[in-house]
Amino acid sequence: MKIFECGNCAHPLYFENDHCEKCGHLTGYSSTTSTMLTFDPSKFPLISDRKGKAYKYCENKDLGVCNWLIPAEQDNEFCPACELNRTIPDLSDAENFPKWQKLEVAKHRLVYQLLKLELAIPPQETNPEIGLSFDFISRQGDSQIMTGHANGLITILLSEADSVHREQMRKQMSEPYRTLIGHFRHEVGHYFWDRLVANNEKRLLEFRNLFGDDSLDYGEALKNYYQTGAPSNWQQTFISQYASSHAWEDWAETWAHYLHIMDMAETAYYYGISVNPNVKEKSLKGAFTFDPYEKRDFEKIYQSWAPISFAINSLNRSMGVPDAYPFVVSSAAVTKMKFIHTLIYNL
């Protein structure tokens, strides 16, 4: 993600900040300008320090789950991220609120990235055929409710916001990595397969050449995967064990990792991160001198990202914490990500 700064005092800001910790000015993210804007808290309406234009906050600002801005002249009550919500948790249950906050942080970061990629994400409420929506719900004793995607509706269980539960599930599912942002990126991958691939014969043929036959029975494929597991040589072809279960899951897992890499790459670019280790191996040397969202060559993005990812994992191990990116990326997986990158940038 980009680095943001206060328009009044230039103090660095996090994406989720609703005020500057140095000067006290109000802050908010403008999806129309892809910047954090700041406002004198003593004045109303909100006039941007940087743009000199009037804005209002998304309605969910009052609930403490959103800091996005809407131009004052627009009638919208909710920002492009919050207008995607179909169901939010029962806020009369005090345990639900902090979990919902965590879900919204992950979802807003997802929407930020989709907008950077210029991918259309119309709300399902006004676009029932092709729109996207989210249900954030608790099972409440109903074991049939699962995190997943169906016809543009992404369901995320509140329990995924519980770090203890998430770690238990990670171990149960033998996953090296399980995060909220990972769930969002994976499930939205299913949505974009429907939008970008399923109804385009040329793209579908290219997809099948790389990911396999999507027409195979999905339920049987998952049943077989959970009974027998991934093939012993799965790392040669897939980004994760779960990706080996069915072509749809291979796509969704690869899509999620593509978004992981692009987000890390953008962060590395804005921080000017480079690595030049004292070793002979040249593949461990790299630098980000370009914005990955402006680069059509995914191979260049990957080659610049890989050594930085290795260095970050090494730093994590120095602190005794898990790798930030605990995956081995095969050439086959990179080829699949190239397909996704090319597909997006040729829309």
Q: pLDDT tens for the chain, 347 residues: list them.
A: 999 999 999 999 999 999 999 999 999 999 999 999 999 998 888 988 877 899 999 999 999 999 999 999 999 999 999 999 999 998 888 888 999 999 999 999 999 999 999 999 999 999 999 999 999 998 765 667 888 999 999 999 998 877 655 666 655 655 656 689 999 999 999 999 999 999 999 999 999 999 999 999 999 999 999 999 999 999 999 999 999 999 999 999 999 999 999 999 999 999 999 999 888 877 888 889 999 999 999 999 999 999 999 999 999 999 999 999 988 899 999 999 999 999 999 97
Half-sphere exposure of 221 toward its Cβ, with a 13 Å CA cutoff?
16
Tell me 26's DSSP state. Answer: E
Nearest alpha-carbon partner for 162 in 95, 97, 99: 99
Nearest alpha-carbon partner for 263 in 163, 92, 138, 114: 114
Nearest alpha-carbon partner for 324 in 187, 182, 184: 182
Query: Phi/psi zone of residue 152: left (φ > 0), alpha (ψ -120 to 50 degrees), beta?
Result: left
What is the rounded CA–CA span in Å between residue 199 and residue 225?
Answer: 27
What is the rounded CA–CA span in Å between residue 49 and residue 51?
Answer: 6
Query: Would you state the pLDDT for residue 68?
Result: 97
Query: Would you state the pLDDT for residue 54?
Result: 93
DSSP states along 120-162: ---BTTT-TTT-BEEEEE--TT-TT--SEEETTEEEEEGGGG-
Q: Note whether 194 and 150 are within 8 A (CB).
A: no
Across-strand partners of 134?
A: 85, 154
Burial of 95 (0-12, 13-18, 19+ CB in 10 A): exposed
Q: Note whether 186 and 177 are within 8 A (CB).
A: no
Query: Would you state the pLDDT for residue 347?
Result: 79
User: What residue segments make up the domains of the chain, in order of their start?
Assistant: 4-79, 80-196, 208-347
- Which SS3 state, helix, strand or coil, does residue 57 take? strand
Q: Note whether 78 and 60 are within 8 A (CB).
A: yes
Across-strand partners of 56?
A: 70
Q: Quickly list H helices, the chain.
A: 96-116, 163-172, 180-196, 201-211, 218-228, 247-270, 298-318, 331-345
Q: What is the CA 61 to chain-centroid distance, rounded? A: 21
